[in-house]
Amino acid sequence: MAQKKGSKQEVADDEIHVPLQAILMADSFAQKFRPITLERPKVLLPLVNVPMIDYTLEWLASAGVEEVFVFCCAHAKQVTTYLDRSNWRSQPNFAITIIESHDCLSIGDALRFIDQRNVVRGDFVLVSGDVVSNMPLTEVLRQHKERRKKDKLSVMTMVVKRSKLSPITHQSRLGNNELVLVIDPASKQLLYYDAGFEPANKDSSQRQIVKHVILDKSIVADRSAVQLCTDLQDCHIDICSPEVLMLFTDNFDYQRLRRDFVKGLLSDEVMGNKVYTYEIYRDYAARVDNLRAYDTISKDIIHRWTYPLVPDIQFGGNRGASKLDRCNVYKGPGIVISRTAKIGENTVLGEGTVIGENSVIVNSVIGRGCIIGNNAIVENSYVWNNVTIGDDARMKESVVCDGVVVKSGAVMEPGVVLSFKVVIGSDFTVPAYSKISLVAQPTEEGSSDEELECADTTSDAGESPPGSLPVELSTPNGASSEILMDSVAARQWDSSEVGNQGAGFKWIIKEGSQTEEWRHSVAPFPKELLEDILKRQIHYDNEDAIDSGAISGAESTPSTGLNDDDDVDDLDQDEQENDSSFFEREVEETFRRAVSETSGVQQDHVVLEVNALKLAYNLSFSDCAGAMFRAFLNLALEEPHTSSASGELLSNTTLVITKWAPLLKRFLKSEDDEVEVLLKFEEVCVEASKEFARLFVLILQLLYDKDLISEDAILSWAFEKKGADESDKVFVKQCEKFIQWLQEASEEEDQEEET
Amino acid sequence: MGPIMKFQVVVLAGGMSKKLFPLVSKDVPKALLPVGNRPVLSYVLELLEANNLKDLIVVVAGEDAAVRVGGWITEAYDGRLHVEVAAVSEDIGTADALRAVLHRLVVDDVLVVSGDIVSDVPLGAIAAAHRRKRAVLTAMLCSSPSASTAEAISSTGKDKAKKPSPIDIVGLDTSHQHLLFLASGTQVDKDVKIRRSLIRVVDQMEIHMDLMDAHLYAFNRAILQEVLELCQGIKSIKQDLVPYLVRSQSKFGAIASGDTQTEAVGKTPNKDDSGQPQTPMQDIVPLPQHILPGVLHPASLELTCCVYIASEGKYCSRVNSIQTYGDINRDQVAGELVFLTGYTVSNQNNVIHPTAEIGSKTTVGPQCMVGDGSKLGDKCSVKKSIVGRHCRIGSNVKIINSVVMNHVTVEDGCLIQGSVICSNVHLQERANLKDCQVGAGYIITANSEHKAEALSKREKS
């Protein structure tokens, strides 16, 4: 009886209900939405008039998640306030706990912070607050749990979705870079993840140099097949085991989920933790990572791919009061549209918006309480709440935030972003891809990527709870913002940036990140750029083919060139040669600095610097000595001398060597180094400056006299050269007499010693 | 025959394989090595005949070997196949051998077969697939032996420490029709490097380690000729030619995909005309494009390399090492693949020629073969072994897991395990061999014991 009870207990233990938990990152730790995110956190930005976080929360709630930990860092207060006012807090079976931190710089920090709190009890969904999805979690959770039962090391399951890249820009429709995944087709284990993180130079021409995917042999070794995919989109929805948090704590240097954590797991064979993928086909999942994704996902929502998360159905902060008309036109309550205004397809008009005569709105989202004047044109744009657009204004592929005033006749060229409460003067044309904000661009952008969304106190002045709250509608601008307006009104805005009576700073696009801007903008790629890329691409492909078609008719040896090895070897060699010549140049520059420095001889500094170079290039003392000697000769060569009279050159050289002998001495640690100097000297004579050839013996003698080169070194140099080609022996022959003399001298010495 | 299958076949029969020493000799070139008591080449020839491919060029390395192979073919296949035998010098690569007979090729497509394949794959299907895709190259792949014979090896319980036979790394598209990448398995110890642009073209690429290049290819003749003539550097079909074609394909594929086609096609020739320094490479790479429109379907400017994957039940392996020679003899030909040999199988699941004489109390187990005219003494035991023609085997002899070729004399009390005994070998009394290879004409003295040795007469040179 007792036994029976015990077994029953066990069963109960197994089936004990663990609520499904989720961690929602309400901070993206990225800057792609700047300058907008300086004033409002990304998760609260309206996506088709509903804050992004509502999409994520609604999806989590509908997918059966019972407990959500919302982590916020930057603008934590705004997020908290928003959630407190929303009705998320009062949902049955859906608990929201806010975890607030102020010193987290990355998702890694955040997860470590959460780990300390000890709140996660089982498998959890890790998701960012900017993910829009309608996928059910049952199947992926089941698969994850099943794998976990068999193998405790399968710690994470990533959701992926197929998405074809643009053949020209190699960019997904969400504006992400090409993502290469290698997956085991049988187990769906992820073996390789390459999102082209942080190309050295952000220019796209540089990017394409990464031509190869290199698979470690361990990946291929004992598998029957692997799958290389470029057409999968990372949905940034992860099912994680509690170990994930522990791993973050253990590896305190992990910062980013993908770049550090996933890559770390994949490359770490010792621990053997595994990541799996789960592909969704019919469901929707995408992350608003940049403005292009914002555009794409907005369109998807309007086209109802995200059903039931669409404007006319109630969820979260969306009251679902919009009515769907033909051609995907959603009209909120209380809007006033002039009879002559034309509302084109795929358009959302928020509550209380007024549209003037003959205005055209196409493929756009207009927020609540906007006033659009007469004859205005809004195309493919996102206009948030309480925006005023004057008569005859034109706007294309732009994002316009809350409270912006666009005065009559102003023109927004494609890709423009106007942050909160910016004012654009009348008849002013905002050039393409401009970003304008009332907040000045932070000057130092040092480690820009590692920075926060930024919550500096100054920008928090504009903090007003997002206008999407119904309460906010009646009083769109709180008192605090008026103070802001007062304070900024005092400033003088540059009218060349925002026009007459405009307000705002133009943000300067960083040098080199131009392409990045294009890639991530709401506006499609400019046509010229596409053509340019196309041209370059053909060029690359040709090069590619030439590179890799490693067999040439003239080649005598059979090429194995299967993996373009020849290529690589050549490259390595080139690099090495380059390295040593770079090294020599740097040594010479260092030396020249010492020469030109009139204030005393800073020999110690030179030695220090050259030693540093030596370490940097991983070379030996003999290399240093050789390079230094070469620098001497070059210096001597630069002094005026007539090419016919070698006497002048000799005296110059003598001067230099005499003066800098102690310096060279510092690098002559052994006989080998001295021999190296001689070899270098020969090299110079043969290759670079033939003038020295005649002086070889004399300079050699000088070096000997100055005790720079010992007789042993000279003799061993001569000995080394014995077996060499005739052409190599020119200098040895030249020095024959000198060497003979040395030999005799040493013999005499020996004899003396003997006697 | 004729118009439907307009294929010419080149059989690369090889010569004296170093890998098969001491089994091959001047008298027995590789092509004539007996497998299941028949020359290995006969399997290929019969497979070709069965698939109605009767126009063959057999390329043999070495004049002597060519004469022997030619002699055997005329004898055995006179009137059944139209065979030309071409001799090439020894020690040249497979592509060179192919180059040597290039001028004899006249029809549109060429099938190149290695002469050491033992297979039952329908070659007609490969030819058809090649035609259907208008491919430049169609390579046959079969499942890698490391998967199939691994069991066989472990079941016999020996050679466990044996190095896994080198596998190929094959890149395919998801439809398993296009060949995108091919590297021979010896390079697995390095990292595998794959061009991104290649993956981009197909979106997804599968890398298979469980497939093996069967050394059976169909080529487009025109392109084969152009490429071989222009790139004298190509020595080996597998190592150079196939990868070269695969790479060239990706170049054209990359450009022709997507909506950039028209522009791309317009632009590439311009580059060629722009008077750049003419490196040999540039000479070669653009070339197929000029000849493409003529030979391929005009609408598709793609140079495609395809694969034909042998279906699961089909068998294909190559006799290219002593290990595989033994395996094929013992495990496959005498066993499950006995149908390839055309012999009738007895109730005991073995093949004993009617003219063979078997002594009393001698047992011949299943999966064994005894050739015609062989005599086995009393109380012998033959297990999983092949005994050739006209052998004289004494009493109390045990032959296990071995191959005994023709005219071998084995005296009383010998024990032969896991060995290969070539023709005319004489084993004197109570010789004991384990895992040995004995070259032709060798004499093993009485009571001697050998283990894991290769024994052969010194060749008079």
pLDDT band at A537 (very low <50, low <70, confident <90, very high): low
Residue B335 included in any domain: no
Identify residue A325 by its one-letter amino acid code. Answer: D
pLDDT of residue A734: 77
B200–A230 CB contact, under 8 Å:
yes
B231–A165 CB contact, under 8 Å:
no
Out of B191, B207, B280, the one facing A553 most closely (by C-beta) is: B280
Q: Among residues of chain B, what percentage have pLDDT more than 70?
A: 77
* Residue B114 host element (H or E): strand B109-114
pLDDT digits (tens, 9 = 90+) for A335-360: 899 999 999 999 999 889 999 999 99
Same domain? B176 vs B276: yes
* Residue A7 host element (H or E): helix A2-14
Tell me whether strands B55-61 and B38-39 are parallel, antiparallel or unpaired: unpaired
Which residues 654-673 of A have a C-beta within 8 angstroms of B?
Answer: none
pLDDT of residue A131: 92
Are B382 and B365 in contact by the 8 Å Cβ rule? The answer is: yes
Residue B340 included in any domain: no
Residue A483 included in any domain: yes
Identify residue A570 by its one-letter amino acid code. Answer: D
- Which residue in chain A is spatially nearest to B228 when comparing CA positions? A553
C-alpha A590/C-alpha A574 separation (Å) is 24
Residue A199 included in any domain: no
C-alpha A200/C-alpha A193 separation (Å) is 18
Of A95-109, A185-199, A637-651, give the range with the top mean pLDDT: A95-109
C-alpha A330/C-alpha A348 separation (Å) is 5
Residue B319 included in any domain: yes
* B430-445 average pLDDT score: 88
Tell me whether A608 touches chain B (CB under 8 Å). Answer: no
Mean pLDDT of chain B: 75
CATH code (residue A133): 3.90.550.10
Find all residues with CB under 8 Å of A94, minimum gap 6, and list them. Answer: A61, A65, A66, A67, A68, A88
- Which residue in chain B is spatially nearest to A561 when comparing CA positions? B240
Tell me whether strands A435-437 and A189-194 are parallel, antiparallel or unpaired: unpaired
B361 to chain A, minimum CA–CA distance in Å?
A: 48
Report yes or no on whether pTM surpasses 0.90.
Answer: no
For residue A663, give Cα distances in angstroms to A594, A658, B111, B307.
Answer: 11, 10, 72, 67
pLDDT of residue A615: 78
pLDDT band at A644 (very low <50, low <70, confident <90, very high): low
Give the least confident one: A227-236, A354-363, A453-462, B28-37.
A453-462
Same domain? B313 vs B430: no
Backbone dihedral angles phi then psi of residue A321, each to the nearest 5 degrees: -85, -5
Buried b (16+ CB within 10 A) or exposed e, B359-394: beebebeebbbbbebbbbbebbbbbbbbbbbbbebb
Residue A670 included in any domain: yes
A549–B244 CB contact, under 8 Å:
yes
Higher local confidence (pLDDT), B151 or A244: A244
DSSP 8-state class, residue A290: S
B264–A228 CB contact, under 8 Å:
no
* B165-183 average pLDDT score: 78
pLDDT of residue A636: 78
Write out the residue range of the structural domain in which residue A468 sits.
Answer: 321-515
DSSP 8-state class, residue A748: H
pLDDT of residue B312: 76
Which residues on B lie below 8 Å from A218 (Cβ)? none
Q: Which residues pair with A70 in a beta bridge?
A: A24, A98
Domain count, chain A: 3
pLDDT of residue B214: 83
* A694-704 average pLDDT score: 80
pLDDT band at A300 (very low <50, low <70, confident <90, very high): very high
B457: pLDDT strictly greater than 70: yes
Query: Does a cis peptide bond (omega within 30 degrees of 0) precede residue A35?
Result: yes
Identify residue A575 by its one-letter amino acid code. Answer: E
Mean pLDDT of chain A: 77
Which residues on B lie below 8 Å from A549 (Cβ)? 244, 247-248, 251, 281, 284-285
pLDDT band at A32 (very low <50, low <70, confident <90, very high): confident
How large is the ipTM? 0.70
Tell me the CB-side half-sphere exposure of residue A507, using CA atoms within 13 A. Answer: 28
C-alpha A334/C-alpha A312 separation (Å) is 15
Structure tokens of A77? 């207060």
Which residues 476-515 of A have a C-beta within 8 angstroms of B?
Answer: none
Out of A227, A544, A552, the one facing B197 most closely (by C-beta) is: A544
B197–A564 CB contact, under 8 Å:
no
For residue A280, give Cα distances in angstroms to A22, A140, A285, A575.
Answer: 19, 9, 8, 45
Tell me whether strands A365-366 and A347-349 are parallel, antiparallel or unpaired: parallel
Same domain? B68 vs B176: yes
Which residues on A lie below 8 Å from B191 (Cβ)? 214-217
Same domain? B119 vs B170: yes
Same domain? A154 vs A264: yes
Out of B207, B208, B248, the one facing A545 most closely (by C-beta) is: B248
Same domain? B301 vs B446: no
pLDDT digits (tens, 9 = 90+) for A7-25: 444 444 445 677 899 999 9
Beta strands in B233-374 (DSSP E): 305-309, 316-318, 351-352, 357-358, 363-364, 369-370
Tell me whether A223 touches chain B (CB under 8 Å). Answer: yes
Which residues on B lie below 8 Å from A552 (Cβ)? 231, 233, 279-281, 284
Residue A193 included in any domain: no
Among B197, B208, B250, B268, the residue to mutate for chain A (most A Cβ within 10 A) = B197
Same domain? B251 vs B307: yes
Among B167, B199, B250, the residue to mutate for chain A (most A Cβ within 10 A) = B199
Same domain? B260 vs B363: no
Same domain? B51 vs B121: yes
pLDDT band at B460 (very low <50, low <70, confident <90, very high): very low
DSSP 8-state class, residue A599: S
pLDDT band at B286 (very low <50, low <70, confident <90, very high): very low
Tell me whether A712 touches chain B (CB under 8 Å). Answer: no
B97 to chain A, minimum CA–CA distance in Å?
A: 14
Out of B191, B210, B259, the one facing A167 most closely (by C-beta) is: B259
Tell me whether A167 touches chain B (CB under 8 Å). Answer: yes
Of B299, B327, B355, which one is at a domain's C-terminal end? B327
Same domain? A257 vs A339: no
A588: pLDDT strictly greater than 50: yes
Tell me whether A164 touches chain B (CB under 8 Å). Answer: yes
SS3 B330: helix
Are B201 and B257 in contact by the 8 Å Cβ rule? The answer is: yes
Structure tokens of A475? 């009083």
Which residues on B lie below 8 Å from A229 (Cβ)? 199, 203-205
Tell me whether A544 touches chain B (CB under 8 Å). Answer: yes
CATH code (residue B309): 3.90.550.10
Same domain? B104 vs B205: yes
Question: Which among B260, B251, B280 has a CA at the least distance from the CA of B180?
Answer: B251
pLDDT of residue B5: 55
* B229-251 average pLDDT score: 78
Write out the residue range of the structural domain in which residue B366 sits.
Answer: 347-455
C-alpha A406/C-alpha A413 separation (Å) is 13
A435: pLDDT strictly greater than 60: yes
- Which residue in chain B is spatially nearest to A166 when comparing CA positions? B258
DSSP 8-state class, residue A345: S
pLDDT of residue B203: 78
Q: Among residues of chain A, what percentage have pLDDT more than 70?
A: 78
Tell me whether A534 touches chain B (CB under 8 Å). Answer: yes
Same domain? B305 vs B378: no
pLDDT digits (tens, 9 = 90+) for A157-214: 999 998 877 777 777 777 777 788 888 888 888 888 887 654 444 444 444 446 677 7
H helices of A347-410, in order, are none
Q: What distance, in Å, lies between the first and last C-alpha atoms of chain A?
A: 110
- Residue bearing tokens 């080394």: A720
- Residue bearing tokens 């409460």: A421
Higher local confidence (pLDDT), B199 or A119: A119
Residue B247 included in any domain: yes
Out of B203, B235, B271, the one facing A542 most closely (by C-beta) is: B271
pLDDT of residue A238: 92
Same domain? B197 vs B103: yes
Same domain? A325 vs A428: yes
Q: Is A73 exposed, middle or buried (0-12, 13-18, 19+ CB in 10 A)?
A: buried
* B107-117 average pLDDT score: 87
pLDDT digits (tens, 9 = 90+) for A715-745: 888 777 776 676 677 777 777 778 888 777 7
pLDDT digits (tens, 9 = 90+) for B251-268: 544 333 333 332 333 333
Same domain? A171 vs A43: yes
Same domain? A499 vs A583: no
* Residue B280 host element (H or E): helix B280-284
Q: Which residues pair with A681 in a beta bridge?
A: none
B199 to chain A, minimum CA–CA distance in Å?
A: 7
pLDDT band at A384 (very low <50, low <70, confident <90, very high): very high
Tell me whether A562 touches chain B (CB under 8 Å). Answer: yes
- Which residue in chain A is spatially nearest to B180 when comparing CA positions? A228
pLDDT digits (tens, 9 = 90+) for A604-632: 777 778 787 777 777 777 778 888 888 88
pLDDT of residue B251: 53
pLDDT of residue A620: 77
A212–B194 CB contact, under 8 Å:
yes
Among B169, B186, B188, B193, the residue to mutate for chain A (most A Cβ within 10 A) = B193
pLDDT of residue A354: 93
A-to-B residue pairs, Cβ atoms closer than 8 angstroms: 177
C-alpha B431/C-alpha B130 separation (Å) is 53
pLDDT digits (tens, 9 = 90+) for A43-90: 999 999 899 999 999 999 998 899 999 998 888 889 999 988 888 888
B109: pLDDT strictly greater than 50: yes
A93: pLDDT strictly greater than 70: yes
Domain count, chain B: 2
CATH code (residue B398): 2.160.10.10
Same domain? A63 vs A104: yes
pLDDT digits (tens, 9 = 90+) for A198-243: 444 444 444 444 667 777 777 776 777 888 888 888 889 999 999 8
Tell me whether A231 touches chain B (CB under 8 Å). Answer: yes
A210 to chain B, minimum CA–CA distance in Å?
A: 8
Are B154 and B327 in contact by the 8 Å Cβ rule? The answer is: no
DSSP letter for each residue of A41-82: -GGGSEETTEEHHHHHHHHHHHTT--EEEEEEBTBHHHHHHH
Q: Is B107 exposed, middle or buried (0-12, 13-18, 19+ CB in 10 A)?
A: exposed
- Residue bearing tokens 């082209």: A196
Distance of CA A395 to the CA centre of its chain: 31
Same domain? A284 vs A360: no
Sign of the alpha-carbon torsion through A233, A236, A237, A240: positive
Same domain? B128 vs B261: yes
Structure tokens of B361? 């109390």
